[in-house]
Amino acid sequence: MQQNERINFGSKLGAILAAAGSAVGLGNVWRFPYETGNHGGAAFILIYLGCIFLFGLPIMISEFVIGRRSKASTGKAYQVLAPRTPWKWVGYMGVLTGFLILGYYAVVAGWTLEYVVQAAMGNFFGKEAADFIAMFSDFSQDPLRPLLWLFVFVLTTHFVIVKGVKEGIERSSKVMMPILFVLVLLLAVCSVMLPGAGEGVEFLLKPDFSKVTSDVFLGAMGQAFFSMSLGMGCLSTYASYFGKDTRLGATAMSVGVIDTLIAILAGLIIFPAAFSVGIQPDAGPSLIFITLPNVFQQAFGGWPVLAYICAVAFYVLLAMAALTSTISLHEVPTAFLHEQFGFTRGKAARIVTVGVLGVGIVSSLALGDWSGYTVCGKNFFDALDFLTAKIMLPLGGMFGAVFVGWKLDRRLLHDEVTNCGRLRAPYYPLFVLILRYLCPVGIALIFINELGGF
C-alpha cells in the first residue's frame, strides 16, 4: 500500500478513542492503584500528574509526529523519516517491544477472564483471605486453565485486528471505551458509598508531602511512562492512521485526560473499599487477584446482589481495559509485517498471533511447571517483564524524544504540530525544549532507577 493510499481513522473521535484505548489498560486499573498505595497516596498522584504534563504529553506528541508524518508503522517510520541511517533500529526495537509485551501481557489478560467466570459463578463468597491466596496460586500454576484463557484472549484480539483499522480497531474502541468509562464510574460510586470509605477517599485525595522522597518522583515518572503506553510503538502506529486535520496536541491532551481520569477512578474503586474492610492499600500486584475478591465479599457482604454485580462488573472492566491494550500491541507488529514484506493484513495478523501464542504459552508455563527454568535468575515471564518494562520501554521513549528533538527537521516538526500553520501552537518552543533536554534526562533517571542504580 502506498503512503497516499493509507487508511485513516474515520473520525477525530475515533482517533482519540483508539489512542486512549491503547493507553488505558491494566496499567491504569491494576498498576496505578498499587503504585499509589506504595508511595503514599495523594502526594504521589500530584507528582504523577506533573510527570504526565512534563514528560508524558511531549513524548506522546513526538510519537504522533513520527507516525503521522511517516504514514508508516513504527517499524518503517524511522526508515521513512531518516533513510539510510541507524535510526531504523529504533523502529525495529519498537516492533519487538510491542510483540514481547503482548506475549506475556496476554497471559495476565487471560487471568481476567478466569475471574470474570469465577465472579459470575459466585465463587468469591464464603471464603477467607487464605482461600483467595490458594485460589490464585492454584489457577496461575495450573498447566491448562491459564492457557485456555490465553488462547481465548489472543484469538479475540486477532479477530479485531483482521477486521482492519476502521471496522476493527476504531469500531471496537468506540464501543469499549464508553462502556469502560461507565463501568469504572459506577463502581467508584458504589465504593465511596461504603461505610468507612471516607478514609480511603482521604488517602487518595489528601496529600501528605512528608512521605515524598526521590523514590516517589521516580516511581511517578515510571508510572506515567507505563500508563500512557509510551515507547512501545502503539501510539506511533495509530498516529499513522490520523488524518491531516487531526490536532496532535489536542489529541494528546484528550488521551492524557482520559487515561488519568480512569486511573484515578480506579483508585476510587479500590481504596475506599479496601479501607472500609481494614485492608492496607499497599498490597502490591496481588491487589487485583487476591485482595480485591476478598474486599468485594466483605465490603458488600450485607448486600449479596450488589456484591455479585460489582464483582462481575469489575472483572469485566479489567478484561475490557486489557483488550483495548492487546489490540494496540498486536497492531504494531501486524502493521509492520503488512508493510515491510507485503503480506496481506490477514496473513500478517496470523503470523503475529501464532508467535504471540508461542511466547504466551512459555510465559504461562514459566509460572507453573517450567518455573525451574530461569534466565539470569528469573523465570521466563519475569525475565520478559524486566527486559521490556525496565530496558526496552525507557530506551524506546528516550530515542524517540532525541530523534524528534534533535534529528527531525525543525520545519517539518512545526508543520506537524501546527497542521502546516493552520493551528496556533503557543506551546511549541517549550515542547521542543522539553523534548531536547528534560525528557532524555528524566527517562535516563527512570532507566537507572529501574535497574537499581539508586
- Position 280 scores a pLDDT of 64
CA 90 vs CA 224, 326, 388, 393: distances in Å? 21, 21, 14, 11
Average pLDDT of the segment spanning 74-96: 92
How far, in Å, CA of 66 to CA of 402, rounded? 12
Which three cell numbers, joined as nine digits, stand for 358?
508461542
- Position 1 scores a pLDDT of 39
Q: Give the distance between the most distant pair of CA atoms in the chain.
A: 67
Q: Which residue range is the domain that position 416 belongs to?
A: 3-450
Whether residue 282 contacts residue 38, with contact meaning beta carbons closer than 8 Å, is answered with: yes
Residue 322 has pLDDT above 60, yes or no: yes
Write the DSSP string, 46-94. Answer: HHHHHHIIIIIHHHHHHHHHHHHHHTS-HHHHHHHHSTTSTTHHHHHHH
Cβ neighbours of 296 (radius 10 Å):
23
Q: Each residue of 131-183: pLDDT tens digit? A: 887 888 888 888 899 999 999 999 999 998 988 877 788 788 888 888 888 88
Residue 114 has pLDDT above 90, yes or no: yes
Residue 372 CA to its chain's centroid (Å): 29
Residue 350 has pLDDT above 50, yes or no: yes
How far, in Å, CA of 294 to CA of 297, rounded? 5
How far, in Å, CA of 325 to CA of 109, rounded? 10
- Position 3 scores a pLDDT of 42
Q: Each residue of 380-438: pLDDT tens digit? A: 988 888 888 778 888 888 899 999 999 999 999 999 999 888 888 888 999 999 999 98
Structure letter (DSSP) for residue 68: H
How far, in Å, CA of 372 to CA of 379, rounded? 7
How far, in Å, CA of 400 to CA of 113, rounded? 35
- Position 2 scores a pLDDT of 40
Helix 129-140 × helix 145-162 angle, to 10°: 70
How far, in Å, CA of 108 to CA of 364, rounded? 9
**What is the CATH number for 391?**
1.10.4160.10
Non-local (6+) Cβ contacts of 16 within 8 A are 251, 254, 255, 258
The single-letter code of the amino acid at 258 is I
- Position 282 scores a pLDDT of 58
Which three cell numbers, joined as nine digits, stand for 25?
489498560
Backbone angles phi and psi of 9, in degrees to 5:
-60, 150
Whether residue 235 contacts residue 229, with contact meaning beta carbons closer than 8 Å, is answered with: yes
- Position 281 scores a pLDDT of 60
Whether residue 400 contacts residue 63, with contact meaning beta carbons closer than 8 Å, is answered with: yes
CA 136 vs CA 111, 130, 271, 343, 379: distances in Å? 9, 10, 21, 41, 18
Residue 234 has pLDDT above 90, yes or no: no
Number of folded domains in the chain? Answer: 1
Residue 21 has pLDDT above 70, yes or no: yes
Which three cell numbers, joined as nine digits, stand for 35?
503504585
Structure letter (DSSP) for residue 3: G
Write the DSSP string, 235-278. Answer: HHHHHTT--TT--HHHHHHHHHHHHHHHHHHHHHHHHHHHHHTT
Q: Each residue of 413-427: pLDDT tens digit? A: 999 999 888 888 888
Best mean pLDDT range from 22-36, 158-172, 250-264, 353-367: 353-367
Q: How confident is the model at residue 107 (pLDDT cuts 50, 70, 90)?
A: very high
Whether residue 313 contacts residue 186, with contact meaning beta carbons closer than 8 Å, is answered with: yes
